[in-house]
């Protein structure tokens, strides 16, 4: 008989065979399950889901792209939105506050309908409980066939961050994979990019990369990949400047290219048949409370060239206040501009929705505050007033269906009048936004203000728009809602769940 191999060698061969057959154990990021924590990592027990969660260096921004792959994500037993206050108090209340699970207007899209599986996938800023301000980046879906929702999934635990500026955007590629772009905050907190392991499946996600990105706005164009508009704090006074980056596969990205190079900007963008457009304001001397002017640029060739609406090619980045991208000179009118939504008319021309105000603080000094719409008619820009509103951070969205245009917006005073949000109303226009009629009051006799009505990509009834509620004057639970295109049928997502699936509650008008 031949001589037996030494025992350590046999053990090594056995371990190698095991790894080849079953693979390496996986560790968790963003709230995923872990087999065993590596040395030096903190592990805690999550009381909501009884899952062991690894708070690895990824959550604190120390990991690099592709470091860790998730297997199964943590779920929670209900839909609980984040409450937030900026803390800039005035005699008329906070600059903005309340239920901000669908904040900001500069995170887009927050939901997308997938006809292949008849589901609307969405993201929101969640929290651990109604009296806590602990941000969780949540993803879920509404199943249009069963009319139910599953337990929402924690894609990323922000580990004590309470600020919904770190909320995410979500989009889908042409293979059905879900991509979650999680905002950072300047260079203080990094952003993260996750992709689902399987098409149209929220059960597990892979961390793709960590990068500096704030206010994510990812747009997917079939055959070309991703064009992602972001903000970086690179202005001479630390102001917010606009950039874009691109990727064919979502894994390898181009360098960041500056788009808006003034002292500061906020933008909202959109995509239509391969054209990507964005409109934005500027911040004189980097002061966000002086945001003004309205600019618009677009690209038909995936960022190789950018132009004004009339086709005039523009050198990038924009560094002059007066330039061909300027649509409305609100600075000359002593008027502030707050971005809301960008959509396209039936001819594929841009339509911009926003709020104007006379002052950055809440209260009568900012009146009159108007919900405005500016559209390109093919020859010139046309601007019309939709309605009055009572707060700078009232935010809604615009739908265009041929000649029927719809806006959902909290234009009606809510129970906390004069603060962020209010009662939701549905406005309609049949003359390309020239005149508007309030067709329906969507919410009524509410106990909390409703905030930030968001438009899903390819919106499909009954998940036509979704939003959150909350008390802007004090910390409160925040619930999530959606309604259909008529505004007549309103549903509230379950704040608590006992099973794996639940049917949203229909809210009495």
pLDDT of 64 reads 39
Q: Residue 414: phi, psi to the nearest 5?
A: -95, -170
Do 270 and 350 contact (CB within 8 A), yes or no?
Answer: yes
* Predicted pLDDT at 160: 86
- Say yes or no to pLDDT of 433 above 90: yes
- Pairing of the two strands 313-314 and 449-454: unpaired
**Look-up of token digits 């609980």:** 80
At residue 39, the pLDDT reads 27
Across 177-191, b (16+ Cβ under 10 Å) vs e yields: bbbbbbbbbeeebbb
pLDDT reported for residue 23: 39
Task: Check pLDDT > 70 for residue 32.
Answer: no
Residue range 145-152: mean pLDDT, rounded: 98
pLDDT-derived band of residue 187, with 50, 70 and 90 as boundaries? Answer: confident
205, β-bridge pairs? 196
Domain locations in the chain as residue ranges: 74-507
Q: What is the mean pLDDT of residues 145-173?
A: 97
Question: What's the pLDDT score for residue 14?
Answer: 47
Q: Would you say residue 475 has pLDDT above 70? A: yes
In the predicted model, is pLDDT for residue 143 greater than 60? Answer: yes
DSSP state of 260: E
> Which CATH architecture is the domain 74-507 placed in?
6 Propeller (2.120)
Q: What is the tens place of the pLDDT at every residue in 335-367?
A: 999 999 999 999 999 999 999 999 999 999 999
Nearest Cα to 482, choosing from 76, 144, 82, 127?
144
Are the beta carbons of 268 and 105 closer than 8 angstroms?
yes
Which of these, 267, 3, 51, lies nearest to 151 by C-alpha position? 51
Q: What is the pLDDT of residues 66-104, one digit of tens each?
A: 444 444 689 999 999 999 999 999 999 999 999 999 999
Q: For residue range 301-325, list pLDDT tens digits in order.
A: 999 999 999 999 999 999 999 999 9
Residue 57 has pLDDT above 70, yes or no: no
Q: What is the pLDDT of residue 73?
A: 84
The residue count of the chain comes to 509
- What is the mean pLDDT of the segment spanning 203-231? 97
Give the pLDDT score at 43: 25
Q: Please classify residue 172 by burial: count the beta carbons closer than 10 Å to its beta carbon, then call 0-12 exposed, 13-18 middle and 19+ buried.
A: buried
What is the mean predicted confidence (pLDDT) over 178-207?
96
Residue of 420, 403, 499 whose CA lies nearest to 97: 420
Provide the pLDDT confidence category of residue 482 given band limits of 50, 70 and 90.
very high
Q: Reply yes or no on whether the pLDDT at 15 is more than 60.
A: no
Average confidence score pLDDT of the chain: 89
């Amino acid at each position: 008989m031949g001589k037996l191999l030494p025992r350590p060698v046999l053990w090594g061969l056995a371990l190698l065979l095991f790894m080849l057959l079953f693979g390496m154990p996986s560790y968790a990021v963003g709230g995923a399950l872990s087999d065993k924590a590596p040395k030096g990592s903190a592990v805690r027990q999550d009381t909501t889901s009884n899952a062991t969660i690894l708070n690895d260096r990824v959550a604190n921004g120390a990991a690099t792209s592709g470091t860790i792959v998730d297997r199964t994500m943590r779920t929670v037993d209900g839909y609980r939105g984040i409450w937030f206050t900026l803390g800039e108090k005035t005699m008329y209340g906070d600059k903005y506050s309340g239920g901000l699970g669908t904040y900001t207007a500069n995170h887009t899209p927050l939901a997308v309908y997938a006809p292949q599986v008849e589901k609307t996938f969405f993201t929101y800023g969640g929290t651990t409980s109604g009296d806590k301000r602990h941000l969780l980046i949540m993803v879920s879906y509404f199943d249009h066939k069963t009319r139910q929702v599953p337990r929402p999934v924690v894609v990323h635990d922000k580990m004590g961050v309470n600020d919904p500026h770190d909320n995410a955007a979500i989009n889908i590629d042409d293979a059905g994979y879900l991509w979650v772009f999680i905002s950072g905050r300047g260079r203080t907190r990094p952003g993260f990019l996750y992709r689902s392991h399987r098409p149209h499946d929220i059960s597990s996600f892979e961390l793709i990369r960590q990068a500096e990105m704030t206010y994510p706005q990812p747009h997917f164009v079939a055959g070309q990949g991703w064009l992602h508009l972001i903000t970086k704090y690179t202005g001479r006074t630390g102001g917010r400047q606009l950039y874009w980056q691109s990727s064919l596969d979502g894994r390898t990205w181009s360098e960041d290219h500056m788009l808006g190079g003034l002292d500061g900007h906020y933008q909202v963008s959109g995509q239509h048949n391969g054209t990507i457009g964005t409109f934005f304001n500027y911040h004189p001397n980097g002061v966000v409370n002086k945001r003004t002017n309205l600019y618009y640029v677009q690209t038909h060739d995936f960022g190789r060239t950018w132009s004004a609406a009339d086709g005039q090619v523009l050198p990038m980045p924009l560094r002059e206040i007066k330039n061909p991208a300027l649509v409305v000179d609100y600075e000359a009118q002593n008027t502030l501009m707050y971005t809301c939504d960008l959509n396209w008319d039936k001819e594929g021309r841009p339509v911009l929705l926003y709020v104007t105000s006379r002052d950055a603080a809440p209260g009568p000094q900012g009146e009159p505050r108007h919900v405005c719409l500016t559209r390109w008619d093919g020859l010139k820009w046309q601007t019309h007033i939709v309605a009055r509103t009572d707060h700078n951070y009232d935010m809604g969205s615009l739908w265009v269906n041929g000649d029927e245009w719809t806006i959902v917006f909290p234009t009606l005073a809510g129970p906390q009048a004069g603060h962020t949000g209010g009662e939701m109303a549905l406005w309609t226009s049949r003359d390309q936004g020239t005149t508007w009629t309030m067709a329906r009051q969507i919410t009524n006799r509410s106990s909390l203000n409703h905030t930030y009505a968001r438009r899903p990509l390819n919106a499909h009834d009954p998940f036509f728009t979704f939003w959150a509620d909350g008390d802007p004057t004090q910390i409160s639970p925040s619930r999530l809602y959606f309604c259909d295109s008529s505004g007549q049928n309103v549903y509230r997502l379950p704040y608590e769940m006992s099973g794996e699936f639940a049917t949203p509650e229909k809210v009495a008008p």
